[in-house]
Amino acid sequence: MSLTILANARIVLPDSVQMGSLRIDGGRIVDIAAGGGVPEGAVDCEGDLVMPGLIELHTDNLERHIQPRPKVDWPHAAAIVAHDAELASVGITTVFDAMRVGSVPNPRNDYAAYARGLATELLQLRAEGVLRISHYLHLRAEICSQTLIEEMAAFGPVDRIGIVSLMDHTPGQRQFRDVSRLKQYVQGKHGMSDGQFLQHVAHLRALRDRYGEAHEAAAVSEARRYGAVLASHDDTIGEHVEVSAAHGVRLAEFPTTLEAASACQDHGIAVMMGAPNLIRGGSHSGNVAASALAEAGMLDIVSSDYVPSALLSAALMLGDLWGDLPRGVRTVTTAPADVVGLTDRGRVEICARADVIRVHSIAGAGAVRGAWVAGRRVA
């Protein structure tokens, strides 16, 4: 956390871009100066962008590292370290690692509980100073499960749980309102036959009927006990948003329709969409396109979802779409920081935590040429 000066940079401030230099000391931003000079000992950024470090609220990337192939359980410490390094390399300086809670015991053991053990390992590595970036937990509470209540009871306020999301994947509603889309997804991923798929659908619907109401109430209660922000997932109709608002939801993850996104705005619930949806030009599930929400002024936050490098590219794309680079950058910095109450980061300003990245623009995307977390260079 020694003195660092990033000079000759296009600095992305909250509402403007300024040519100048940034001085970092003691893990904080201590000065922002205009001009293109390069003081002795400074890093010459050669006109690159310098912006806040990216804040990722929902990523499945850690799960991909611990299970790189079906039924392959990779050593967790190695997986966590690799995940952490990957995020640092693409400019993410704060992450809320998504972990599923709520399991369906079966002989194949392919939907077993894992979150408590993985979280313990991650938090231990963090305590030992092994990790490069700042990690919080995001518990994905699966309503269609059998063990949600007992799994959530194993966590507490000391576990850095920043978000609890209510995940209801019952076939025929929300993300998979079109069951044919679910069939395509599940059969492609798990190789189910038509008969097995029909059994799968029936089983999930039975779980929702038996446990859904109790699980949803428990997840809301546990989020309050942890002190975590409550998020909804895949709101589709206005009634879904009404329920979310009644629960105290502050973040809507991936609403599937314009109707739901508009209702979220009416209730003051921040709307988050996936960067892959934006970059690919649409949802893989056939739901509303992120670009449509952006054009309608209904997109507040972007998540990388399952492609970490997509977060930076999406922010730059939105800057182009809106003709306002700072606004695009805010969707991956200031806005996510604000919704989870991280008031010390997500913006380039005096006294802010020095989580910053240097970005070189290339062909509509961005290459990270440096990343600092609390003033320490990590990439």
Tell me: pLDDT of 163 over 90: yes
Q: What pLDDT is stored for residue 374 in this prediction?
A: 97
Contact 219, 250 (CB under 8 A): no
Contact 89, 54 (CB under 8 A): no
Contact 336, 301 (CB under 8 A): yes
pLDDT tier at 364, thresholds 50, 70, 90: confident
Going from the N-terminus, what domains does the chain have, and what CATH number goes with each?
A: 1-51+347-379 (2.30.40.10), 54-344 (3.20.20.140)
Q: What pLDDT is stored for residue 1 in this prediction?
A: 54
> Mean of the pLDDT values across residues 349-362?
96
In which residue are the tokens 């992305």 written?
Answer: 12
Of 43-52, 263-272, 364-373, minimum mean pLDDT range:
364-373
pTM flag (> 0.85): yes
Nearest to residue 12, comparing CAs of 56, 57, 43, 47? 47
> Mean of the pLDDT values across residues 363-379?
94
User: Could you tell me how many residues make up the chain?
Assistant: 379
Tell me: pLDDT of 107 over 60: no
> Mean of the pLDDT values across residues 227-253?
96
> Mean of the pLDDT values across residues 351-373?
94
- DSSP assignment of 102-144, as one string? -----TT-TT---HHHHHHHHHHHHHTT--SSEEEEEEEEESS
Tell me: pLDDT of 110 over 70: no
Tell me: pLDDT of 60 over 70: yes
pLDDT tier at 177, thresholds 50, 70, 90: low
Of 141-150, 178-187, 197-206, 219-228, minimum mean pLDDT range:
178-187
pLDDT above 70 covers what percent of the chain? 90
148 CB neighbour count, 10 Å cutoff: 26
Average pLDDT of the residues of the chain: 91
Strand, coil or helix: 319: helix
In which residue are the tokens 């979310």 written?
Answer: 244
- Alpha carbons within 13 angstroms on the beta-carbon side of residue 115 total 27
The C-alpha atoms of residue 66 and residue 83 are separated, in whole angstroms, by: 9
Q: What pLDDT is stored for residue 290 in this prediction?
A: 97
Q: What pLDDT is stored for residue 169 in this prediction?
A: 66
Q: What pLDDT is stored for residue 245 in this prediction?
A: 97
Higher pLDDT, 200 or 6: 6
The C-alpha atoms of residue 185 and residue 182 are separated, in whole angstroms, by: 5
Nearest to residue 167, comparing CAs of 198, 190, 138? 138
> Mean of the pLDDT values across residues 136-145?
93
Quick: pLDDT tens for 277-326.
999 998 876 789 999 999 999 999 999 999 999 999 999 999 999 999 99
